[in-house]
Structure 1
Amino acid sequence: MLKYIASLALFCSFLLSCSTSQKIDTLRPAPDDASPIVYENVPSFINLPISVKLKDIENKTNSLLNGLIYEDTNIEDDDIEIKIWKLAPITIQNENAVSGEQIKTILPLKAIIKYRIGTKTMGVELYNTREFNLNGVLTLNSDVALNNWKLKTKTQLKSLDWNESPTMTVFGKNVPVTYLINPAIQIFKSKIERKIDEAIEKSMDFKPNVLTALEKICTPFQINEAYESWLRIVPLEIYTTAAKLKDDTFLLQMGMKCNMETLIGLEPESKFDANKITLKAVVKIPNQITANIVAVSTYQDASKIIRKNFIGQDFGSGSKKVKIQDVSIWHKNGKMVIALELIGSVNGTIYLAGFPQYDDKTKEIYFDKLDYVLDTKNKLMRTANWLAQGIVLRKIQENCRYSIQPNLEEGKRTMTTYLKNYSPMSGVFVNGKMDDIQFQKIELTKNAIIAFIKVNGEINISVDGLK
């Protein structure tokens, strides 16, 4: 009887052990020491064509030169006093539509010039001062070049057409002196030329416009809300060709050398630093560009994505099943360690390790040669051999992957919207086209998975006008 009771108790104990969960206690592989994410980024190139209407230059020049535009009241240095007024708005035109190298400035003006003739002998001043009244239209031609972000002109007086005959005040009366004043124009010619050059230089300072536009463009923007992915552009250098005048527009071809990064997680900070951007002169900037994008997925963010794959799924067979409650990923000796927190027939945490790879067909990052780490495998063989079997491991492995296809497609869709006359600020427009996104390679750091992506196409960021 006692023997029967003992056998029954043993049988019940066996049934009880089969119907309740087993606790598994495995050793956690220690992650490598964390360090900053360091990777080699291949620079990308983006076109930055700048177009400025002559009308914009004309408007800004007129705003800078108004009313009394020049005054020299010191007669002692060169025996000349000059006052020049702008009588009507200045007009600026393309002087040579073929070569695109000169602009013509037409300046309606009124001038009063005092010219002193005489000597100073034995401390006695013997001077005779004459005042000339001028009213006419000054025409100037300017050669154009770009220097240090500014459009530089070298202006020369071409002609002066009088609205009224120049006069000289004699005994309170204006006496015509055209035959005398024309040679005298050379006296103030250089001053007017320099004044026009200074006004155009102030009007055509590209730097504030370009840097403001770049700052907007380089502010990270979200390309996929579900995956919390962001695109960040970090400018390195700006290239420029010579400025050309075509019809009524100045054209300036610029190109930006930059790093392009895709980061997953919280919104990253901008790395735009205007003080570090240099302007370099080049002969030609190609239209076709290559964007080399770095996709940075921290292990914490990758864990969140993979965790979603396990929601609502059972792993096992019959009455022996487990659910994955949580997923953690980290780096260990060149491999990825995946920690799976289980509930069900087995409670506890198991650890797998494998090498991250990229499947070009499915556009997925998966883990090749994924297997239980040694301590986990040994304890599963003793306590839950069914969980250690290959069929369960393969089912788990199928879920230990995440597709970047949505990222690529969403990234392309989002980028396409930014390439259709997108205007981050007034007067700045982004246009272009993209080919398919190509995955290049994958690298591991101690705290992130780094994917390298290449995109061919055209990206133009045009700065239209000066505000």
Structure 2
Amino acid sequence: MTKLFSVLAIFLLLIIVSSCATSNKIAALKPEPDDASPLVYENTPSFINLPISIKLKDIENKTNMLLNGLIYEDNKIEDDNIEMKIWKLAPISITNENGKIKTVLPLKALVKYRIGTKTLGIDLYSIKEFNLNGVVTLTSDATLTNWKLSTKTELKSLDWNESPTMVVFGKNIPVTYLIDPAVKLFKSKIETKIDAAIEKSMDFKPNVLAALEKICTPFLMNEAYQSWLQIIPIEIYSTTAKLKNDSFLLEMGMKCNMETMIGNQPVSKFDAAKIILKPVATIPNQISANITAVSTYDEASKIMTKNFAGQEFGSGSKKITVQKVNIWQKDNKMVIALDVLGTINGTLYLTGFPQYNDQTKELFFDKMDYALDTKSKLMRTANWLAQGLVLRKIQESCKYSITPNLEEGKKSMITYLKNYSPMPGVFVNGKMDDIQYQRTQLTNKAIIAFIKVNGTVNVSIDGLK
């Protein structure tokens, strides 16, 4: 009898403890996510105008670096009866003259000209040697070819500092009356040399690609949201280069994809080897940036978990707190899994359709409700939690802000448009208009928001290296 009483006492104690327990366990069925197919989404390319200006002074400086001292030497007289050496005597001057490059080159030249023939194996030649010292003025038409500014240079004048002389018996004898025909002997040499120097000094491909690589490196827009902007070039366009005042103007444009990624810094997708310069007649003068904001469900879950921090849902003694949030997609709906502690322990599953609130600039979940099995279990065990008032309060925290962090990103981007110098001698300036939300697309791995931004960008090269 005593043993039976003890068993009954223990049984009653268990009933009392169970009835006094403050928590119930809910084990609702998990709405399984759709299969994890690759992240694929529609992306509208953006077009960024990149008008580039290069000062003639920079071309002048670089040309002077390339042409110094002895700038041309031909010691083989047998091929064309000419042997020639040309020295630069003073810095070259390069200016704009009626839309053409005007080059002034102070020089001296030693020209040997062979006259005669070879008969029966006997050389019957005489060599005339001319000393020239003067200033050569040349003009050049410029065209853009394969990233390089090519010029077609023509010698316009030759002004003598000293009377041209010819060496006769070891003495310099003035021969001004003979020199005009001799000028033709080295005219083409000077023109070719100037063309080669300007073309080499104006191979701006390394500068442009280096600047683009810097611009296309993903950069942090918002530290709190860990959002990164990256630009992925598709094609580069360019119009014909033009001289204006003291600069070369080159209208360039870049067709690209623009993405914002949430999470760790993405790997740059810039590949200089794949970029081709395509000639076009005109280029728009405004940015039309279609930005793809990619928020993986994992990162979105972390941010939404922060939204619930320190909050309790319920009333009186019946309350829960959300410990963790996980979200995923199923059948074009978002599933929001809430791990809760309190009067109810377990995981609550909600579903809803992502929408955008233009006033608050937030993504929220419309028509949110508990998943069918979750709702059924709550109706039996925690009807208070299934009521609309509690659900609406929970829904208020089920928001995921993408556009505000893009606004912060816009502020960050503006810093890159205020005399930003990605490398020495390259400066970026511009402006951006307001962000315009376009639409949202769900994939099996992420929420994709499409944003449009208009503005302008200008790139100047000042101090070409």
Relative to the length of structure 2, the TM-score reads: 0.94
Matching residue of 2:72: 70
Matching residue of 2:302: 304
Where do 5+ consecutive residues of structure 1 fail to align?
Answer: 1-5
Q: Which of 440, 443, 446 is residue 444 of structure 2 equivalent to? A: 446
Q: Which of 320, 335, 360 is residue 322 of structure 1 equivalent to? A: 320
Matching residue of 2:352: 354
Deviations 1:92-132 (A, max 9, x none): 12121xxx2x1111111111111111111112221111211
More displaced stretch, 389-398 vs 324-333: 389-398
Tell me, what secondary structure is at the counterpart of 2:339?
A: strand
> Shift of the alpha carbon at 1:210?
0.5
1:51 aligns with 2:53: yes
Matching residue of 1:40: 42
Measure the CA separation in 2 of the matches of 1:460 and 1:94.
22
Matching residue of 2:83: 81
Q: Is 1:260–1:292's contact at 8 Å kept on the other side of the alignment?
A: yes
Q: Is 2:293–2:448's contact at 8 Å kept on the other side of the alignment?
A: yes
> Shift of the alpha carbon at 1:416?
2.2
Measure the CA separation in 2 of the matches of 1:347 and 1:146.
71
Q: Is 1:47–1:461's contact at 8 Å kept on the other side of the alignment?
A: no
Matching residue of 2:104: 106
Matching residue of 1:274: 272
Measure the CA separation in 1 of the matches of 2:357 and 2:148.
50
Q: Which of 335, 338, 343 is residue 337 of structure 1 equivalent to? A: 335
Matching residue of 2:3: none
Q: Is 2:51–2:457's contact at 8 Å kept on the other side of the alignment?
A: no
Q: Which of 6, 21, 24 is residue 23 of structure 2 equivalent to? A: 21
Relative to the length of structure 1, the TM-score reads: 0.94
Q: 1:464 to 1:39 in 2, by over 3 A?
A: farther
1:248-287 paired onto structure 2 within 5 Å: 248-287=246-285
Tell me, what secondary structure is at the counterpart of 1:31?
A: coil
1:367 aligns with 2:365: yes
Say what the alpha-carbon RMSD is for the aligned residues. Answer: 2.0
Measure the CA separation in 1 of the matches of 2:169 and 2:316.
123
Tell me, what secondary structure is at the counterpart of 1:275?
A: helix
| Number of residue-to-residue matches in the alignment | 458
Measure the CA separation in 2 of the matches of 1:18 and 1:393.
26
Matching residue of 1:434: 432
Tell me, what secondary structure is at the counterpart of 2:435?
A: strand
> Shift of the alpha carbon at 1:14?
6.5
Q: Is 1:239–1:282's contact at 8 Å kept on the other side of the alignment?
A: yes
Letter in 2 for 1:282: V
Matching residue of 1:3: none
More displaced stretch, 344-353 vs 413-422: 413-422
Where does structure 1 differ by over 3 angstroms across 4 or more consecutive aligned residues? 9-16
Measure the CA separation in 2 of the matches of 1:336 and 1:317.
27
Measure the CA separation in 2 of the matches of 1:25 and 1:240.
63
Q: Which of 76, 88, 97 is residue 95 of structure 1 equivalent to? A: 97
Tell me, what secondary structure is at the counterpart of 1:436?
A: coil
Tell me, what secondary structure is at the counterpart of 2:138?
A: strand
Q: Is 1:416–1:434's contact at 8 Å kept on the other side of the alignment?
A: yes
Letter in 2 for 1:118: G
Q: Is 1:339–1:350's contact at 8 Å kept on the other side of the alignment?
A: yes
Letter in 1 for 2:399: R
Q: Which of 107, 113, 116 is residue 114 of structure 2 equivalent to? A: 116
Where do 5+ consecutive residues of structure 2 fail to align?
Answer: 1-7
Letter in 1 for 2:382: A
Matching residue of 1:377: 375
Q: How much identity, in percent, do the aligned residues show?
A: 74
Tell me, what secondary structure is at the counterpart of 1:78?
A: coil
Matching residue of 1:410: 408
Tell me, what secondary structure is at the counterpart of 1:311?
A: coil
